[in-house]
Structure 1
Amino acid sequence: MKHFPIFMALEGHRVVVSGGGEAALAKLRLLLKTEARLTVIAANAAPEIAAWADEERLTLINRSMEAGDALCARLFYAANEDDAEDARVADLAHRDGALVNIVDNLEDSQFITPAMVDRDPVVVAIGTEGAAPVLARAIKKDIEERLSPRLGLMARIGKAFRAKADALPFGLKRREFWADYYNKDIATEAQAQEALDTLLGKHLNAQAKEGHVELVGAGPGDPDLLTMKARKALDAADVVIYDRLVAPEILELARREAVMLSAGKEGFGPSVTQDAINEMIVSHARAGAHVVRLKSGDPTVFGRLDEEIEACEASGVAWSIVPGITSASAAVASLGQSLTKRGRNSGVRFITGHDTKGFADHDWKTLAREGEVAAIYMGKKSARFIQGRLLMHGVDAATPVTVIENASRPNQRILATCLGELEPTLSDANLSGPALVFLGLAPRAAMAAAQQHELEAVS
């Protein structure tokens, strides 16, 4: 982000525009909606600008800009539609201490004016840092259609009602009151006032809302793979308790006011205990919060889901599950493969490389059967153990093994190897992110190369 969005207070402050043509008019039509003291400096101002000056909506100086004209101005626009003149007046404004925007010159401007959706006092600003003005206009059009033309009226009346609404406890109850109000379709000021009075009485007399826990799957990491239901849960959450592997881009989707609590676990490393996590979940829910327990992948797959459900039930806390896309599904898609294939395997095993007691033991004899496919979660540090068990039970050392690090994320990495070379391949790769190991699957391109090699060997 090269431009940090802010809303600057302009009431009673100077804003100066140099230029009197179409570029200046475009800026002035927007600036006239503010309560700034506007000054236009132009030797040949358009008739509209002269008319606004006659109406005392702005001050017009009929000459070229001189040193000192931008003194005490908060903002300055160079809109002369002449590069040399814009550069000259911008330099003068810089010296006078104003923030400078040169119209259609992003590189030399100190600030930019975004596309805006105006429902005064509700204003939505849309910026693309000059990269895609057409996209900004398209987004503006979409938002314009979504927001009621009466939203500004409702906001103005709601603002005047805030002192009365302070009778509600700060936090969840007050947010619910305002959410109820802004979800109504109100046409007149009288209707808005009546709705506010009625809603306030209803919320003041309402019993305290019970907390609720949503156990939500964050998917493998790509925010585009987050389900719509998970997005809605994050938007409504008062408290988000998240795992170490949840991508930062997904955490950014949570409501800004939400309390964000890390509950990181790391295999064979420092971790928040499960008892401590259970206590966090239950205590916030008991306090009336909407708690989202955000788990990487799908909470029903190696997510200790049952332990957290049991903690909720033991405390009388309501809960629900929002499934997510598990890492195996995202990872196998990146291989151009399917987890099951007719004639190869009619099932697939999801197994873990380690559990609470250390390296996890499995039915290695069954896994050793030809054509078996397994997705091994948390198998990075237990790879040598898994390799040894499988070879011991007769799995062919040439069996394809694929390791996917950071599945679905921009820094995803795919290692194609075989069981006999799983170690030292993993150690040599120096993986730093979460990794999933597939037994019996190879990337489609790797399989094609192997088949070609066999054909060449035969011929």
Structure 2
Amino acid sequence: MQHYPVFLNTRAARIVLSGGGEAALAKLRLLLKTEADLSVFAPEAAPDIIAWAEAGALTLYRRRLQAEDVAGAALVYAADEDKDQDLQTATLARSARVLLNIVDSLEGSDFITPAIVDRDPVTIAIGTEGAAPVLARQIKADLEARLPASLGALARIGKAFRRAAEALPMGRARRAFWSDYYSETGPASIAKGEAATKAALDSLLAQHLAKGPAEGHVIFAGAGPGDPELLTLKARHALHEADVVIYDRLVSPAILELARREALMLNAGKEGFGAAMTQADINALIVEHAAAGAQVLRLKGGDPAVFARLDEEIEALEARDIAFSIIPGITAASAAAAALSQSLTKRGRNTEARLVTGHDMQGYADQDWKSLARTGEVAAIYMGKRAARFLQGRLLMHGATANTPVSLVENASLPNQRIIATTLGQLPSALAEAALTGPALTLLGLAPRDAAPPTLKQEVAQ
């Protein structure tokens, strides 16, 4: 992010603009919506600018900008549409250490003015780092069509009511009140007028005050394989509502970015055969925050019910009589199979697909090797990188052929996804050569489809 978005308090601030033509008009149409003291410097000014000056909306000086005009200003706009004159304005602004915008010059500007959706006091700013102004305008048009004109009135009434709403406890209780107002009570009453909306707010506050303290609740949600677009809508909503997010190491940063900025983010990541927070500590952490009345989101990579110790965490909550719910997610097996352009089951090939783990609490996990070794069987092996030689030995010992296809999918669904296509006989050496560093799923019995998309990144190990 090159340009950091902020909202500048323009009340009593002085904003200086040099220019009197079309570029100046475009900037002034937006600046006139602010509470700033506007000073425009232009020997020749457009009729609209003259009219605004005569109406007292701005002060027009029929001359060029000078050094003393810039002193004390909050912002300076160079809008003369003349390279030399804009450079002169820039020199004056920088000498006075005032933030500068040169119209249509991203590189020469200290700040840029974004596209604005105005539902005063609700303001939405849209920026594209100057790369796609047409796209910014399209987004603006789309948002304006979606947001009702009454939104500003609802926000103004709500702003005046904020002091009364402070009677509710900070956090979840207060958020629930405002959520009810903006989603239901406010829109239902605003058509009847401001007085009716204020009365509805009073009634709504009384209802929420009567509810008493909110009880803690835990949501176990699957974050999917990593791509934020594969996150379910329900999980995304839970991220937006959570007071506390306790997440695993496989949850991608792009998904964590979707959480509320005020939420407490706690990393409870585990890594096989390495130092990590113990399961008992994770259980205690979940219970601690839920018992204090927080809305806790326990966010797990993939699906929370697949090799994620869900039952142990649920049992810890049940022991304290804490309510919980579960939101499933897309598991790594589904994402990995999709990366191969394959299905996990196929008529005439396999009537079942198994999800197995490469290791458990005692070490390398034991399986029904005889059935897994049968021709045509398909298994998704989680946490199988370190167990590759063990898996190979057991399967070959129980009758699997050395040319059984095996695919390893690293970072399934992410931009840095890698696919290693090999065979059971070459599995350990293929893994060593590939030097995988990210989480990888092993698909026994599946090779990438010959007609896989050309964007599929795969390596064939022989």
Q: Which amino acid is the alignment partner of residue 118 of structure 1?
A: D
Cα offset for 1:138? Answer: 2.1
Aligned partner of 2:143 in structure 1 is 143
Q: Describe the superposition over 1:71-96 as per-residue Cα deviations: whole angstroms up to 9, x where unpaired.
A: 21111111112233222322222222
CA deviations 1:90-138 (Å, max 9, x no partner) are: 2222222211111111121111111111122211111111122222122
Over 3 Å off, 4+ runs: none
Corresponding residue for residue 16 of structure 1: 16
Corresponding position of 1:431? 436
Alignment of 1:340-419 (within 5 A): 340-419=345-424
The residue type equivalent to 2:107 in the other structure is: E
Percent sequence identity over matched residues?
A: 65
Shifted more, 354-363 versus 58-67: the winner is 58-67
Could you say which residue in structure 2 is the equivalent of 1:452?
Answer: none
Q: In the alignment, what sits opposite 1:40?
A: 40
Q: What is the distance in 1 between the residues matched to 2:443 and 2:83? A: 61
Q: Deviations over 1:274-323 (max 9, x none)?
A: 22222222222222222111110011211111222222222212221111
May I ask how many residue pairs the two structures share in their alignment? 447
Q: CA deviation at 1:43?
A: 1.0
Deviation at 1:446, TM superposition (A): 9.5
Correspondence for 1:213: 218
Deviations, residues 158-201 of structure 1 (Å, cap 9, x unaligned): 22222222222211112222222222212432123212222222
Give the secondary-structure state (helix, strand or coil) at the position aligned to 2:321: coil
Q: Which amino acid aligns with 1:306?
A: D
**1:309 aligned to which of 310, 314, 330:** 314
Which letter does structure 2 place at the counterpart of 1:427? A
Letter in 1 for 2:268: A
Please say which of residues 322-331 and 273-282 is displaced more in the overlay.
273-282
For 2:354 and 2:174, locate their aligned partners in 1 and report how far apart those are by CA, in whole Å. 48
Q: Structure 1 counterpart of 2:181, which letter?
A: Y
Cα distance in 2 for partners of 1:83, 1:342 equals 71
- Cα deviation, residue 326, structure 1: 0.6
The letter of the residue matching 2:264 is V
For 1:446 and 1:59, the matched residues in 2 are separated by 68
Task: Tell me if 1:296 matches 2:296.
Answer: no
Q: What value does the CA root-mean-square deviation take over the aligned residues?
A: 1.6
d(CA) in 2 for partners of 1:198 and 1:338?
55
Offset at residue 362 of structure 1 (A): 0.4
3-state SS of the aligned residue for 1:142? helix
State the AA in 1 paired with 2:69: D
Residue number in structure 2 paired with 1:169: 169
Q: After superposition, where does 1:280-295 map in structure 2 within 5 Å? A: 280-295=285-300
2-structure distance, mates of 1:419, 1:290: 46
Deviates more, 1:177-186 or 1:244-253: 177-186
Do the aligned residues in 2 keep the contact of 1:68 with 1:96 (CA within 8 Å)? no
Secondary structure of 1:86's match? helix
Which secondary structure state, in structure 1, belongs to the residue aligned with residue 28 of structure 2? Answer: helix
| Structure 1 range deviating more: 44-53 or 195-204 | 195-204
SS in 1 for 2:381: strand
Structure 2: segments with no counterpart, 5+ residues: 453-462
Q: What SS does the aligned partner of 1:68 have? A: helix
